[in-house]
Structure 1
Amino acid sequence: MRRDVSLFSILNFWIIRTLVSVRVSVRASVRALVMTLVFGLSIASVSAEPLKVGEIAPDFTINQIDNTSFKLSEFKGKQSVYLVFWNTWCGHCMKKVPQLMSIEREFGEQVKLLAINTSWSDSLAEISQFQIRFEANYAIAFDDDADITHRYGVMGTPTGFLIDINGVIRQVDGIPHTLAANIEQWNQVSDSEYKPVKLAGAVCDKDSVC
């Protein structure tokens, strides 16, 4: 009799454990679905077309998490700017962190690097914790109303914009691997109307801007 009760107890334990696991799994799936829907709605609400190489970068002002202000136009005529839109939950964004830190160390005097959190399913507290945890050496800002994110037509993260010293977008997306080869060119002040210049190592046809 005791053996039967023991077996019943063990069986009952495993049934309850299985049900709890299923419940947790369902909750996790629902949370992932909700985040996907929220993220999708955020993307759907983007009214601006994605910016392209050769266009003038829209000016904006944003507060960095160290309580200093960043205004894009203040860098015109001084140095190039590299904007990276990102999120803490974005796996690809996290993989780029070492590269961004390397860019800041190597090119910090020539390029202003600013990582703008889109605020999609993120909070100011989370990005502050991120900076502390990863000891990020570059500037970070929180686009709390996603206004700048929308104006730049960002459809996903990470998305990067390399803006030259004249305020012209020279590269979009990814890490600019041609940075070392082209930074001198990007930091040349031009008084004339912008004309596309072929980047070192780039392959362009007569109708393309690269």
Structure 2
Amino acid sequence: MKKKTRNILRTSIILSIVILLGVTLWFNLTSDSQAIQVGDDAVDFQLETLNGEEMQLSEINEDKGVILNFWGTWCEPCREEMPDMNEIYNEGHEDYEIVAVNVSEGEQQINQFLSSLDENLSFPIALDSNRDVTKAYQVGPLPTTIAIDKNGVVVEKQEYQLTTDDIYSFIEQSTSE
């Protein structure tokens, strides 16, 4: 390859990289959407549960704190935290509700996942088939858990597996006045 051709090729590659970086930065800096943060109002939604019932966040949140746990069947940390959430939920949940929001998977996949667990889950499983709720809450990695207090305000958010202490903390945050 001639020296002149190599220089043109190098210049073209460098120019392309600079343009792509500029476009990426422009889209990121001008984007209106920001991730839901602690202190923000919760985004209301209505989803169907695995049992075929409709659930509305604002109806649950009228008199209870709510813990939204976004998860997927392929997610090992999700699998590991669910038994702890279920055990704590079964201790009593008069003041709060856990809602496991499955992110865009089919009922067959979910049922296979649930049947592989050692015990049946007591909390409702909501189906976010088209990812509208996941997008509204700008959920990235799974699991992501969000606690909403009785006033409809996000009071805690965690983007990794919950420990038992984390679950109790989420309950405390969601039920405090």
Pair 1:53 & 2:41 matched: no
State the alpha-carbon separation in 2 of the partners of residues 118 and 138 from structure 1. Answer: 16
Q: Secondary structure in 2 aligned to 1:156?
A: coil
TM-score normalised by the chain length of structure 2: 0.71
State the alpha-carbon separation in 2 of the partners of residues 183 and 126 from structure 1. Answer: 29
2:29 maps to none
Q: Secondary structure in 1 aligned to 2:50?
A: coil
Identity %: 30
Bigger radius of gyration: 1
The letter of the residue matching 1:133 is S
State the alpha-carbon separation in 2 of the partners of residues 114 and 67 from structure 1. Answer: 14
Contact 1:48 1:150 in 2 (8 A): no
RMSD over equivalenced CA pairs, Å: 2.2
State the alpha-carbon separation in 2 of the partners of residues 185 and 89 from structure 1. Answer: 29
Q: Secondary structure in 2 aligned to 1:51?
A: coil
Which structure has more relative contact order (CA 8 Å, sep 6+)? It is 2
Choose the corresponding residue for 2:59, options 69, 74, 78: 74
Choose the corresponding residue for 1:133, options 116, 137, 152: 116
1:6 maps to none
In structure 1, stretches of 5+ residues that fail to align are: 1-46, 190-210
TM-score normalised by the chain length of structure 1: 0.60
Which structure shows the bigger proportion of residues in strand conformation?
A: 2
- After superposition, the C-alpha distances for 1:1-60 in whole angstroms (9 at most, x for unaligned) are xxxxxxxxxxxxxxxxxxxxxxxxxxxxxxxxxxxxxxxxxxxxxx84221111111000
Contact 2:67 2:174 in 1 (8 A): no
State the alpha-carbon separation in 1 of the partners of residues 42 and 121 from structure 2. Answer: 25
1:137 shift after superposition: 1.9
State the alpha-carbon separation in 2 of the partners of residues 181 and 123 from structure 1. Answer: 31
With over 3 angstroms needed to count, the CA separation of the structure-2 counterparts of 1:95 and 1:152, relative to structure 1, is same
Q: Secondary structure in 2 aligned to 1:161?
A: strand
2:4 maps to none
State the alpha-carbon separation in 2 of the partners of residues 166 and 86 from structure 1. Answer: 25
Give the 5 Å matches for 1:71-110. Answer: 71-110=56-95
Choose the corresponding residue for 1:175, options 156, 162, 166: 162
The letter of the residue matching 1:115 is A
Q: Secondary structure in 1 aligned to 2:139?
A: coil
2:48 maps to 63
